Copies of this chain bind each other. A is one copy, B any other.
């Protein structure tokens, strides 16, 4: 068992086939017809390549050709269906173009974001999709300096093309449904997200717009930007519901992670949480099974990624432009069939 026997190179093939490196290269790249190579030679080379299990060294090829065949993606983490969906679609689109997908997560740590972006750029990825980072602009600019094509998902900036979910429209549609049969003076709140965040800001605007339509106004403390963590959301809910007074009867929850906080709160205090109507700007199959009236929204990950690659396939820069993709409301969707 010759362990780790050295891989055959193009030179080995040439020697074995009794021809030149150039000719082998032509054959392997399918350009031999153009070079009027003897078909017999071509056949011999191909057979030998198969026999020896020849695989071209991608780094040598990339070095010579000046491209890497790598496509990078940056996400905060893998723990929810939104990012999982983005990743899976990214992978398949990249593969369809002969690119190897490299997906890295940052845990929303700006330091890791920086480091990871630099590393992907060092690898000369031919495309970088950026989703859910602190500040896309610094990454966008890094890419521009190094000649890497970069696109932002759901987080626009002036320095790159961006594709976003219709956050305003989605939140408004969710809120409309949420308020449909509610008493006219019922309290409704918005929960989750951080200060001055693009998507959150728009979702709040959509929430308020739908409130407006019903002549409702959001009071102090009705917009609860408690962050994304389940624990923080749980705590915010404890505060809201355990304080005597006017508990909310409806809420729009800003993300599936914040919704997780609601789920644990509901489990712990069904007495307090069972009467509230809930809508969530995201979808999860288990969350959809909780016995609380929950309206969910599924971002259209497939189209989000499709638009990224359409931009990539076209050669235009379009920095600062934003392409908006509508999300879908989930009422009782069984979800796709999979393993």
A77 within 8 A of B: yes
Mask of A66-105 contacts with B, CB within 8 angstroms, 1/0: 0010000000111101011001100100010000111111
- Contacting residues, chain B, for A122 (C-beta < 8 A): 55-56, 58
CA distance A230 to B285 in the complex (A): 10
CA distance A88 to B308 in the complex (A): 24
Q: Quick one: given A68-B59, A121-B55, A337-B229, are A88 and B84 in contact (CB under 8 Å)? A: no
CA distance A335 to B257 in the complex (A): 12
CA distance A60 to B286 in the complex (A): 48
* Pairwise interchain contact B289-A266, C-beta atoms closer than 8 A: yes
- Contacting residues, chain B, for A6 (C-beta < 8 A): 147
CA distance A95 to B81 in the complex (A): 24
Number of this chain's copies in the complex = 2
CA distance A289 to B6 in the complex (A): 54
* Pairwise interchain contact A123-B58, C-beta atoms closer than 8 A: yes
- Contacting residues, chain B, for A317 (C-beta < 8 A): 3
* Pairwise interchain contact A119-B147, C-beta atoms closer than 8 A: no
* A331 vs chain B, min Cβ distance (A): 13
CA distance A53 to B118 in the complex (A): 11
- Contacting residues, chain B, for A91 (C-beta < 8 A): 104-105
Cross-chain contact of A5 among B147, B257, B264 (Cβ < 8 A)? B147
Closest to A263 in B: B289
* Pairwise interchain contact A78-B68, C-beta atoms closer than 8 A: no
CA distance A105 to B53 in the complex (A): 25
A228 within 8 A of B: yes
A177 within 8 A of B: no
**Which residues in chain A, 255-309, are within 8 Å of chain B measured between CB atoms?**
257, 260, 263-264, 266-267, 270, 284-287, 289-291
Closest to A83 in B: B78
- Contacting residues, chain B, for A101 (C-beta < 8 A): 102, 104
Q: Quick one: given A63-B63, A338-B79, are A103 and B100 in contact (CB under 8 Å)? A: no
- Contacting residues, chain B, for A267 (C-beta < 8 A): 289, 291
CA distance A67 to B95 in the complex (A): 23
A146 within 8 A of B: yes
- Contacting residues, chain B, for A4 (C-beta < 8 A): 144, 147
* Pairwise interchain contact B124-A227, C-beta atoms closer than 8 A: no
CA distance A120 to B116 in the complex (A): 20
* A103 vs chain B, min Cβ distance (A): 6
* Pairwise interchain contact B285-A263, C-beta atoms closer than 8 A: yes
* A290 vs chain B, min Cβ distance (A): 6
* Pairwise interchain contact A286-B257, C-beta atoms closer than 8 A: no
Q: Quick one: given A58-B122, A78-B88, A88-B78, are A335 and B284 in contact (CB under 8 Å)? A: no
Closest to A260 in B: B285
Q: Which 7 A-B pairs have the closest CB atoms?
A: A286-B286, A4-B147, A78-B84, A263-B289, A228-B339, A59-B59, A267-B289
A-B contact pairs, 7 of them (CB 8 A): A5-B147, A100-B119, A230-B337, A260-B286, A264-B289, A267-B291, A284-B286
Given contacts A56-B122, A107-B339, 20 further A-B contacts (CB under 8 A): A4-B147, A5-B145, A7-B147, A58-B122, A59-B62, A59-B68, A59-B124, A60-B63, A77-B339, A78-B78, A88-B107, A91-B105, A100-B104, A101-B102, A102-B102, A229-B339, A257-B338, A263-B285, A263-B289, A286-B289
